[in-house]
Amino acid sequence: MKILYIEDSREHIQTVQRITRYLRHDLLTAETAKSGYALLAQQPDLILLDITLPDINGLDLARRLRSEGVTVPIIALTANAVEYDEAQARAAGCDEFLVKPYSAEQFMALLARFAPLES
C-alpha cells in the first residue's frame, strides 16, 4: 500500500515512518500542501493529512482534492482539536479524523481499515 503523509513536523513523520515500515507499507512524505499535491502523481492509495500546514490549511487541501475528483481515502490528523473537529474534517471530504497525540495502536487500527497488510 502506498501512503502519502502531508505533515510539517519531522517528529510526526518519523513516528509514522516507523509504523508504516513495520506494517510494510510504502510511505511518501511532504512537508507542505504544495509538495504533497505534487506527489499525487505517484498515485497513493491513502492520504494522511495534517490540518495545520505551513502553506495552506489541510482542510482546504482536502476540499480541493475532492473538488478535482480525487477519491483516495483521506485521514485528517491534528494536534489542535480545540479549533478543528471531526465534523469539519468530514465536511471537507476527509474519511476519518485522528487527534494527536495518538497511540501506535490507535493509528494502526485506523490505518488497517484503509490499508490492509502487504503480503
Q: How far apart are CA 8 and CA 68, in angstroms?
A: 24
For residue 40, is it within any domain? yes
Write the CATH number for 108. Answer: 3.40.50.2300
Q: How far apart are CA 83 and CA 16, in angstroms?
A: 23
For residue 84, is it within any domain? yes
Rounded to two decimals, what is the model's pTM? 0.92
When divided into structural domains, the chain yields a total of 1
For residue 73, is it within any domain? yes
3-state secondary structure of 91: helix
Q: Which three cell numbers stand for residue 72?
A: 483516495
Q: What is the pLDDT of residues 69-113, one digit of tens each?
A: 999 999 999 887 766 788 999 999 999 999 988 999 999 999 989
| Residue 61, C-beta contacts closer than 8 angstroms, at least 6 positions apart | 6, 33, 36, 37, 49, 53
For residue 118, is it within any domain? no
Domain range spanning residue 75?
Answer: 2-113
